[in-house]
């Protein structure tokens, strides 16, 4: 079994939700019988059992502890899940338990529950949230935490054999003697053919952006021909967008251009879920791809090529890079 340690910094958290379906209520005097019922409804199939062995006084002591916040998640008047937090440390909160009951799973409520729990923690003055999740927990747990902004801090193995963890196509294997770790990353991406992304095919772009912040990177000529219209369409659709018009060509395809993109992202306060959208030719997309790989250790990048070469090369490739002095594409990423 693999144990994943995750951390969320307040500055990396963007609590953007649609219509709220859940609300959290803190309970200081929940009856042990009700506590066990909720605990079992969430954790029975996940193998949780530690709290079920406690007697009534021990459960009451946990719930009443001043540094423990026990929160029931309600969907209407139905208890949909619970969150248990430890707030003893002055700077960070620890998520002891978090989950939805089995009948509430599969309804896209997990991200909302994690977001509400994180908002609650930060509202208490904490600057960081820590938690662990196991490979035996819900199959989408790790993905949901990372979508909310949590970063993976470490992986441990609670047995002496080898194992595999799956997350979005990545695999992790630990040698029998724990002396070497193997990580294989399988990247997948979609390619869409479109004639008018600022018009009738705008919904496809909005779906890819998924409600996140957008930094658009383009060049002066492309801005006049295409980007201004696309910018207006995205803003009209409610996208939080900032545009950077970058005067870049093959002679100026340098690390300075990449730094300028990164500085624009920082000024915009682009978060970990933010999206960099490059609109232009291959040079623009190459520099933007390199910047996207470094901003907050990697954010999503949508490429919109506007030249034929860009469509068959940089627009569909996974690489990005810039020149260093007279060495073409000496610095870059895949």
Q: Write the pLDDT tens digit of every residue in 236-294.
A: 999 999 999 999 988 889 999 999 999 999 999 998 889 999 999 999 999 999 999 99
Burial class (CB in 10 A: 0-12, 13-18, 19+), 329: middle
Q: Which CATH class is domain 202-333?
A: alpha beta
3-state class of 188 per DSSP? coil
Is the per-residue pLDDT at 25 higher than 60? yes
- To the question of pTM greater than 0.85 for the whole model, the response is no
- Would you state the pLDDT for residue 163? 34
pLDDT at residue 14 is higher than 60? yes
* % of residues, the chain, pLDDT over 90: 47
pLDDT of residue 303 exceeding 90, the answer is yes
- What is the rounded average pLDDT for all residues in the chain? 84
* CB distance 6 to 151 below 8 Å: yes
> Kindly report the CA angle at 40 between 60 and 22, in degrees rounded to 5?
85
Q: What is the pLDDT of residue 106?
A: 81
User: pLDDT by residue (tens digit) across 65-83?
Assistant: 889 999 999 999 999 999 9
What integer pLDDT is reported at residue 148 of this predicted model? 86
* pLDDT band at 11; cut points 50, 70, 90: confident
pLDDT attached to residue 291: 95
Give the separation between CA 89 and CA 104, rounded to whole angstroms: 32
Domain ranges of the chain: 2-157, 202-333
Non-local CB neighbours of 202 within 8 Å, separated by 6+ positions? 233, 234, 237
CATH topology of domain 2-157: Aminopeptidase (3.40.630)
How does pLDDT run across 150-173, given as a tens digit for each residue? Answer: 888 777 654 433 333 333 344 445
Tell me the per-residue pLDDT of 190-214, one tens digit each, with 9 for 90 and over: 788 888 999 999 999 998 898 899 9
Higher pLDDT, 173 or 31: 31
2-9 and 151-157: which strand pairing?
antiparallel
Residue 135: the pLDDT is 66
Task: Return the percent helix, strand and coil in the chain, to nearest 5.
Answer: 35, 30, 35
Task: Give 85-137 pLDDT, tens digit per residue.
Answer: 999 898 999 999 999 998 888 888 888 999 999 999 999 999 999 998 876 66
User: Taken in order 123, 126, 128, 134, is the CA torsion positive or negative?
Assistant: negative
């Amino acid at each position: 079994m693999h144990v994943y340690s995750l951390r969320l910094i307040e500055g990396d958290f963007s609590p953007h939700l649609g219509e709220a379906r859940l609300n959290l209520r803190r309970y200081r005097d929940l009856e042990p019988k009700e506590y066990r019922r909720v605990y079992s409804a969430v954790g029975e199939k996940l193998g949780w059992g530690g709290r079920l062995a406690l007697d009534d006084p021990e459960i009451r002591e946990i719930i009443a502890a001043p540094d423990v916040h026990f929160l029931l998640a309600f969907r209407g008047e139905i208890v949909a899940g619970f969150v248990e937090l430890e707030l003893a440390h002055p700077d960070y909160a620890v998520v002891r338990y978090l989950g939805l009951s089995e009948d509430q799973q599969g309804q896209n409520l997990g991200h909302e529950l994690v977001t509400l729990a994180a908002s609650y923690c930060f509202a208490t003055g904490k600057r960081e949230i820590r938690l662990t999740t196991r490979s035996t927990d819900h199959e989408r747990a790790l993905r949901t935490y990372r979508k909310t902004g949590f970063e993976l801090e470490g992986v441990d193995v609670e047995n002496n054999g080898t194992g595999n963890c799956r997350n979005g196509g990545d695999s992790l294997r630990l040698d029998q003697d724990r002396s070497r770790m193997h990580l294989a990353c399988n990247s997948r991406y979609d390619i869409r053919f479109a004639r008018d992304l600022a018009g009738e095919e705008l919904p496809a772009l909005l779906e890819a952006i998924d409600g996140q912040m957008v930094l658009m990177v383009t060049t002066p000529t492309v801005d006049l021909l295409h980007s201004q219209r696309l910018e207006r369409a995205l803003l009209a659709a409610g996208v939080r967008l900032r545009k950077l018009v970058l005067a870049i060509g093959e002679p100026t395809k340098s690390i300075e251009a990449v730094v300028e993109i990164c500085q624009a992202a920082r000024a915009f306060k682009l978060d970990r879920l933010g999206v960099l959208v490059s609109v232009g030719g291959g040079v623009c997309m190459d520099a933007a791809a390199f910047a996207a790989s470094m901003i907050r250790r990697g954010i999503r990048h949508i490429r919109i090529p506007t030249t034929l070469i860009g469509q068959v090369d940089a627009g569909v490739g996974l690489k990005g890079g810039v020149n260093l002095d007279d060495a073409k594409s000496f610095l870059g990423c895949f």
